[in-house]
Amino acid sequence: MRTVIVGNGMAGSRLVGELRSRDRRMPITVFGAEKARPYNRVMLSNVLAGASAPGDIHLTDPGWYADNDVDARLGLPITRIDRRERTVTSADGDVTPYDALVLATGSTPVVPPLPGLDAEGVVVFRTLEDCRAIVRHAESARSAVVVGGGLLGLEAARGLAGRGVPVTVVHRAGHLMDRQLDPEAGGVLRRTLHDLGVRTLLNARLSAARAEVGRVSGVELDDGTVLAADLVVLACGVRPETGLATASGLTVDRGVLVDDRLRSVDDPGVHAIGECAQHQGTVYGLVAPAWEQARVVADVLTGRTARYRGSRLVTRLKATGIELAAMGETGLGDDEAEVVRFTDPTRGTYKKIVIRDGLLVGAILLGETGTAGLLTQLYDRAEPLPADRLHLLFDGLGTGTPVDTPVRIPDTATVCRCNNVTKGRIRASWEAGARDVPGVAAETRATTGCGGCRDTVVGILEWLDRQDPGPHHEPGAEVSRL
């Protein structure tokens, strides 16, 4: 089966790897609009902050495609799909036939149609090249404005502040990260950011960017306020990239409509995964669902039985000095569900769990996320909750054992959501000789997605090291299972 993948980002490149791990002979051609080999887009905030170099976030080695007999055409976007002839046409005019076509075209940044946004120094934050441009401008910037107070915008703002650039976030909603947080949590987060050097303006709308000699010099808000800035970062959201799908006659709503096998509802020979796919009314914008979808499509294309049932999302903010995890229906109030809260704004702490019919349906942990693993497990599996709700918010409560320690996590619990890695797999890789995070990552891919599970993986490895009976212990030997 000749498989063509359109898109070489986090979804498309993962599908290539999943297919090749199942079938060494399948002809695979992947087209990527970017010239760079695939990289972890989630870790761009680390590059912006200076915590990682661009070369640290690539997902494949330089020679991987050649070594695995994959025809990778990078920097070569697809311009046309002919579903009747089952071919795709690339920007160089070449026509490539397919038996199975997978669209992994991702999303396009939203750029408001406002005056001045074409000036030098106005940059969207989406690709590795965008990140390099922001870093380059930040080296001489006296002040910066980030437009958008969502997840990506706040990561950009914190990264710039960490480089010593005064930053103001302009956000149109009444509180930060309004899609994931309730107003109270948004208020605590705003205070924390202020303490870290990030100013925020809420209920504020950009009306234009000002420029001098072609270079941005500031922005104007709809109330007439003018903010000086020689760097403006646009993080106004994204929209699924569905132009090719629409032009080829596929049914598109917000994304390409797909069934439980992630096939287009119009053409079983065309699949869609990642941010361009819409499954049961939902377009997922995080890496874990995209990689789960890649696994399902790899199974389907290699003759295995697989269904995609949707994903339950956990959002983590990756910014130095801020710990945040949010999941589920966080906006419900006391009149709609059982809600347990703890707030300590002076210390930047806000915790909330939302319970309905005895099950966890939402949670926010800001400032201290020690029970995030436990809550994620309860949320994922819809397991009954303990009667003492406070144990879900605080580590141990003086019992001597934190509720989220490796001892308490069962082997079946998912530690790395992005790659669906359980504690049991991490234990198995440790027993096989992977005694540090890079070793476990190479064996299981844990920590290579959003990176939010790294501390938990470190804790498990340290705990396993303490269980090692001594220097004569064999790597594959059994370790007592607590």
Q: At 202, phi and psi to the nearest 5? A: -100, 165
Mean pLDDT of 224-251: 96
Query: CA end-to-end span of the chain, whole Å?
Result: 46
Classify residue 243: in a domain, yes or no. yes
- Do both 411 and 386 map to the same domain? no
Please give the residue that has the higher pLDDT: either 422 or 21. Answer: 21
**Which range, of 55-59, 176-180, 447-451, averages the lowest pLDDT?**
447-451
The tokens describing 374, both together, are 């436990």
| pLDDT band of 476, cuts 50, 70, 90 | very low
> Cα–Cα distance between 432 and 245 in angstroms, integer?
45
Q: Among all chains, which residue has been given the structure tokens 């032009």?
A: 247
Classify residue 270: in a domain, yes or no. yes
Domain count for the chain: 4
Mean pLDDT of 131-152: 96
Q: Evaluate if residue 97 carries a pLDDT over 70.
A: yes
**Which range, of 65-74, 85-94, 161-170, 459-468, averages the lowest pLDDT?**
459-468
Q: Using one digit for the tens of pLDDT, what is the confidence trace for 185-231? A: 999 999 999 999 999 999 999 999 999 999 999 999 999 999 999 99
Q: Are 131 and 121 in contact (CB under 8 A)?
A: no
- Do both 365 and 381 map to the same domain? yes
Mean pLDDT of 239-247: 97
- Do both 155 and 195 map to the same domain? yes
- Do both 291 and 332 map to the same domain? no
Q: Evaluate if residue 475 carries a pLDDT over 90.
A: no
- Do both 68 and 97 map to the same domain? yes
- Do both 10 and 35 map to the same domain? yes
Q: Of the candidates 236, 253, 278, which is a domain's last residue?
A: 236
| pLDDT band of 395, cuts 50, 70, 90 | low
Q: Among all chains, which residue has been given the structure tokens 């890789």?
A: 429
- Do both 360 and 214 map to the same domain? no
In this prediction, residue 452 carries a pLDDT of 72
**Which range, of 119-133, 170-184, 333-347, 420-434, averages the lowest pLDDT?**
420-434
Write the DSSP string, 323-378: EEEEEE-TT--TTTSEEEEEEEGGGTEEEEEEEETTEEEEEEEES--TTHHHHHHH
The residues with which 421 forms a beta bridge, in sequence order, are 416
Please give the residue that has the higher pLDDT: either 407 or 303. Answer: 303
Q: Evaluate if residue 482 carries a pLDDT over 80.
A: no
Q: Are 126 and 136 in contact (CB under 8 A)?
A: no
| pLDDT band of 469, cuts 50, 70, 90 | low
Mean pLDDT of 331-360: 93
Classify residue 260: in a domain, yes or no. yes
- Do both 31 and 102 map to the same domain? yes
| pLDDT band of 405, cuts 50, 70, 90 | low
Q: Using one digit for the tens of pLDDT, what is the confidence trace for 66-80? A: 999 999 999 999 999
Mean pLDDT of 23-28: 97
| pLDDT band of 31, cuts 50, 70, 90 | very high
Q: Using one digit for the tens of pLDDT, what is the confidence trace for 284-340? A: 988 999 999 999 999 999 999 999 999 988 898 878 788 899 999 998 888 899 999
Summary mean pLDDT of the chain: 90
The tokens describing 168, both together, are 């103001």
The tokens describing 405, both together, are 């320690």
Mean pLDDT of 337-355: 94
> pTM value?
0.87
Residue 64 maps to which CATH number?
A: 3.50.50.60
Give the whole-number percent of the chain exceeding pLDDT 90: 68
* Run of H or E residues at 135: helix 128-138
Amino acid at 229: A
Q: At 131, phi and psi to the nearest 5? A: -60, -45
Q: Evaluate if residue 456 carries a pLDDT over 90.
A: no
Classify residue 314: in a domain, yes or no. no
Domain around 96: 3-108+239-301
DSSP conformational letter for 117? T
Q: Evaluate if residue 362 carries a pLDDT over 60.
A: yes
Collapsing DSSP to helix, strand or coil, 179 comes out as coil
- Report the candidate in 435, 346, 358, 439 with the shortest Cα–Cα distance to residue 392: 358
Classify residue 441: in a domain, yes or no. yes
